[in-house]
Amino acid sequence: MAHTWDPDRYLTYAGERGRPFVDLLTRVGADRPATVVDLGCGPGNLTTLLADRWPGADVVGLDSSPEMIAKARELRGGLRFHVADLRDWTPPAPVDVLVSNATLQWVPSHLDLLPRLVDAVAPGGWLAFQVPGNFDEPSHTIRDELAAEAAYAEHTAGVAVPSSHDPAVYLDALAGLDCTVDAWETTYLHLLTGPDPVFTWVSGTGARPTLQALPGDLRPAFEAEFKRRLAAAYPEHEYGVVLPFRRIFVVARVAS
């Protein structure tokens, strides 16, 4: 079963999800790019930051989700959004800045895509991306363990699950493509509030394909147990629930 995205659910923690994007942009040294592409733009709220950073650029947001693009098109004018799959996307001409935020982790073997993404950037231009690096955390391992139980396994087998590599792997791959590479990692400690906040977070992203694969008669029990285990793994403090979240960042300058 192909999964779909819910922009409103995804935007529940828009501020927390947006912090890595801002941190990524601070290391992109482009001065006056003519063309900027946000590859995997989601609901477009962060694409507006690209237009703010480079007001003279033609800024385009692309995403494979029609639901996300429909939400993005509700934003202020001056930006263009289109449905496109990054796996087969090719720009009409090389772009000056290509940004991809929390998207490549959904593409199996995405290291194989890097040469084509570099080719999509003009000489001297910039490729910048960020991916989660927290897949050994309970927010992911609990989902995997529960989905593998007998009651659910036949429905969840083969669903999309995200994955990524350590910064050194991306650095090595892009340096081999004659790029100058800056790669690093950061672990954020997000303070979440509200009922079942970690479930709310993951149900809008990493766990969504698994939840959508379950039939209606099984999903409530799965969700209830998932919430129970997450609450045990991420206890509530008087100041909120702490969600540690490791992120991998890569900024590459393409050879002139």
Predicted confidence at residue 184, as pLDDT, reads 98
Tens digit of each residue's pLDDT (9 = 90 or more) over 182-225: 999 999 999 999 999 999 999 888 788 899 999 999 999 999 99
Q: Are the C-beta atoms of residues 124 and 151 closer than 8 Å to each other? A: no
Mean pLDDT of the residues in the chain: 92
Please tell me the distance from the alpha carbon of residue 135 to that of residue 221, in angstroms, as a whole number.
Answer: 24
pLDDT band of 245, cuts 50, 70, 90 = very high
Predicted confidence at residue 78, as pLDDT, reads 72
* pLDDT at position 179 over 70: yes
Predicted confidence at residue 6, as pLDDT, reads 55
Q: Which residues contact 223 (CB under 8 A, 6 or more apart)?
A: 199, 203, 211
* pLDDT at position 237 over 50: yes
Tens digit of each residue's pLDDT (9 = 90 or more) over 139-159: 999 999 999 999 999 999 989
Long-range contacts of 56-62 (CB under 8 A, 24+ apart): 56/32, 57/32, 57/33, 57/96, 57/97, 58/34, 60/35, 60/36, 61/37, 62/37, 62/38, 62/86, 62/89
Domain chopping of the chain, boundaries: 7-253
Higher pLDDT, 19 or 125: 125
**Range with the lowest mean pLDDT among 1-15, 34-48, 157-171, 236-250?**
1-15
Predicted confidence at residue 160, as pLDDT, reads 86
Q: How is residue 160 annotated by DSSP?
A: -
pLDDT mean over 9-31: 82
99: helix, coil or strand? Answer: strand
In the block, tokens 């979240």 appear at: 245
Please tell me the distance from the alpha carbon of residue 138 to that of residue 135, in angstroms, as a whole number.
Answer: 8
Q: Which residues contact 193 (CB under 8 A, 6 or more apart)?
A: 240, 241
Tens digit of each residue's pLDDT (9 = 90 or more) over 68-104: 899 899 986 778 999 999 999 999 999 999 999 999 9
* pLDDT at position 8 over 60: no
253, containing H or E segment: strand 240-253
Q: Is 153 exposed, middle or buried (0-12, 13-18, 19+ CB in 10 A)?
A: exposed
As a whole-number percent, the residues of the chain with pLDDT over 90 amount to: 83
* pLDDT at position 1 over 50: no
Q: Of 125, 165, 135, 137, nearest to 249 (Cα)?
A: 165
Q: How is residue 126 annotated by DSSP?
A: E
Q: Is the pTM for the entire model greater than 0.85?
A: yes
pLDDT band of 246, cuts 50, 70, 90 = very high
**CATH number for region 7-253:** 3.40.50.150
Q: Are the C-beta atoms of residues 40 and 100 closer than 8 Å to each other? A: yes
The H-assigned helical ranges of 73-196 are 114-119, 138-147, 150-156, 167-175
pLDDT mean over 223-232: 97
Please tell me the distance from the alpha carbon of residue 165 to that of residue 250, in angstroms, as a whole number.
Answer: 11
Q: Which DSSP string corresponds to 191-219?
A: EE-SSSHHHHHHHTTTTHHHHHHS-TTTH
